């Protein structure tokens, strides 16, 4: 059964204006911004029995140096142009043992990545802006996901408008994505969508799809369907409406239509208030995914002579509270129901970055697995009110109760537990240091025959200019 979605276009009035008096002045008054970044990751694996790893316990690590450099002109009759260059490079010694190299920050060949991630022209008039070219976007299921050194960036056109009172509208059409380095953590053989391959399924659940190519722009159809598919699509068209007309309340509605593959609707409501000396924040979200058009993903998952439906849903809630003294709590819940027999058995298909907006832990993104209930319990303390030092410390506990229709390893059920420690020190307004530790128990458990746990540590330094 094919399901349809209607994306509405808005007709906008035009009002031009001038800022710089000449092209020369527009370039002269342009702004340069950037960031230097160092990223170190260290992960110790315990593969347990059944994997045939030798050794079954080992540590791998990686150190990268890089960052980004961007330039944007001043406006000239409403027009401006901009570009951002990204780079990440291996800084430590290359080990002869591949098990000792964590290549997620810089690639398996240790050469790193250097690319023009953004290159766009924008036009602004009245309360409307149009941007065309390579750019960053942030939607529920197409987002930067900057978990390592490179963010996702996209190629297309984005229109934003705020003419309606307390309302912002965003309409975009995206044709290509450049995938962040986190995707290197799940290598997919020959970038092929094989529904019987665990890594191919995991790539669709974890945010990058089987046809990803880190550091290069790839068509939306190739990312979802793999590089060996012979189908092309029109890409992704999305529409967002955000309303803030009620005191402390923010309402968001998103429709992401991935042509001939799937449609994603996300609704989110948030409320922010101060009760006495307690700052509070609460939010709810709901997501629904359905196949559309030619249902190319459902056809790719046809292993029994019948095309599968894309049929997935997810909902969640969160509550945060903090005292003026710096102490805070953070409680979150996400449920992803099973949909037996559909693509990924109801797991949330996520190939362009983004994810559910509430539970993303350092060691596991399992909340997108079907038949899964996820919780997070967090306590944080900001030292600045007491000591004047801008240091934030956080302790978070995650638990993923994974059922047998999970889409990654359907037929097995297990619980993944994780404790994360975070320390973020804002040394100056431009310089930040971050230390992270993650202790993940039973990331995977196939009935005890194959088990995987790991501990991970990260040290990250940022300097913005």
DSSP state of 346: G
d(CA 106, CA 121): 29
Q: What is the pLDDT of residue 55?
A: 63
d(CA 416, CA 427): 35
For strands 236-243 and 167-178, give the pairing: antiparallel
Contact 374, 361 (CB under 8 A): no
Q: Which residues are CB-contacts of 371 (< 8 A; sequence separation ≥ 6)?
A: 336, 337, 338, 345, 346, 402, 403, 404, 405, 406, 407, 413
Q: Which residues are CB-contacts of 52 (< 8 A; sequence separation ≥ 6)?
A: none
Residue with structure tokens 């550091």?
Answer: 215
d(CA 214, CA 41): 18
Q: What is the dihedral of CA 376, 382, 386, 391, to 10 degrees?
A: 140
Contact 99, 60 (CB under 8 A): yes
* Statement: the pTM of the whole predicted model exceeds 0.85: yes
Q: What is the pLDDT of residue 11?
A: 29
Contact 35, 431 (CB under 8 A): no
Q: What is the pLDDT of residue 111?
A: 83
With b meaning 16 or more CB within 10 Å and e meaning fewer, what string describes 167-182?
Answer: ebbbbbbbbbbbbbbb
CA distances from 73 to 162, 212, 231, 336, 450 (A): 23, 32, 39, 45, 55
- Digit-by-digit pLDDT tens for the chain (465 residues) are 444 443 323 323 333 344 788 999 999 999 999 999 999 999 998 887 667 666 677 888 999 999 999 999 999 999 999 999 999 999 987 766 667 888 899 887 778 999 999 999 999 999 999 999 999 999 999 999 998 999 999 999 999 999 999 999 999 999 999 999 999 999 999 999 999 999 999 999 999 999 999 999 999 999 999 999 888 999 999 999 999 999 999 999 999 999 999 999 999 999 999 998 999 999 999 999 999 999 999 999 999 999 999 999 999 999 999 999 999 999 999 999 999 999 999 999 999 998 777 998 989 999 999 999 999 999 999 999 999 999 999 999 999 999 999 999 999 999 999 999 999 999 999 999 999 999 999 999 999 888 999 999 999 999 999
The CATH code that applies to domain 23-464 is 2.40.160.10
Q: What is the pLDDT of residue 2?
A: 42
Q: What is the pLDDT of residue 19?
A: 74
Residue with structure tokens 């993650």?
Answer: 438
**What are the boundaries of each domain within the chain?**
23-464
Beta bridge partners of 393: 381, 423
Which tokens hold the place of 35? 């960031």
């Amino acid at each position: 059964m094919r399901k349809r979605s209607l994306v509405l276009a808005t007709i906008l009035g035009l009002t031009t204006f001038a800022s710089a008096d000449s092209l020369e002045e527009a370039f002269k008054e342009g702004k340069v911004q950037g960031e230097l970044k160092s990223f170190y990751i260290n992960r110790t694996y315990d593969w347990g029995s059944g994997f045939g790893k030798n050794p079954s316990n080992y540590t791998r690590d990686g150190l990268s140096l890089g960052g980004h450099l961007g330039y944007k002109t001043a406006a000239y009759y409403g027009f401006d142009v901009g570009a951002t260059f990204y780079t990440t490079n291996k800084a430590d010694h290359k080990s002869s043992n591949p098990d000792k190299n964590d290549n997620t920050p810089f690639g398996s060949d240790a050469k790193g990545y250097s690319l023009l991630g953004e290159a766009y022209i924008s036009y602004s008039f009245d309360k409307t802006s149009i941007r065309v070219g390579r750019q960053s976007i942030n939607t529920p299921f197409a987002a930067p996901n900057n978990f390592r050194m490179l963010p996702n960036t996209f190629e297309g056109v984005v229109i934003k408008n705020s003419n309606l009172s307390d309302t912002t509208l965003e309409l975009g059409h995206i044709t290509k994505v450049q995938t962040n380095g986190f995707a290197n953590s799940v290598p997919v053989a020959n970038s092929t969508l094989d529904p019987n391959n665990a890594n191919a399924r995991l790539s669709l659940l974890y945010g990058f799809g089987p046809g990803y190519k880190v550091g290069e722009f790839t068509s939306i159809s190739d990312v979802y369907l793999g590089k060996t598919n012979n189908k092309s699509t029109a890409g992704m068209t999305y529409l967002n409406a955000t309303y803030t007309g009620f005191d402390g309340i923010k309402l968001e509605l998103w429709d992401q239509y991935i042509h001939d593959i799937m449609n994603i609707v996300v609704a989110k409501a948030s409320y922010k208030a101060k009760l006495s000396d307690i700052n509070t924040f609460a939010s709810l979200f709901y997501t629904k995914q359905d196949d559309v058009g030619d249902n190319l993903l459902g056809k790719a998952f046809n292993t029994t002579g019948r095309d599968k439906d894309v049929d997935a849903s997810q909902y969640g809630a969160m509550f945060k509270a903090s005292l003026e003294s710096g102490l805070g709590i953070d409680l979150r819940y996400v449920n992803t129901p099973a949909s037996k027999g559909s693509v990924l058995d109801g797991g949330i298909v996520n190939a362009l970055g983004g994810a559910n907006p509430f539970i993303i832990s350092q060691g596991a993104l399992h909340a997108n697995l079907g038949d899964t209930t996820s919780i997070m319990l967090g306590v944080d303390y900001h030292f600045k009110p007491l000591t004047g030092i801008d240091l934030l410390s956080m302790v978070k506990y995650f638990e993923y109760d994974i059922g047998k229709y999970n889409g990654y390893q359907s037929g097995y059920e297990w619980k993944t537990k994780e404790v994360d420690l975070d320390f973020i020190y804002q040394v100056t307004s431009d310089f930040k240091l971050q230390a992270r530790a993650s202790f993940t128990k039973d990331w995977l458990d196939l009935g005890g025959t194959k088990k995987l746990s790991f501990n991970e540590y990260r040290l990250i330094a940022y300097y913005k200019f």
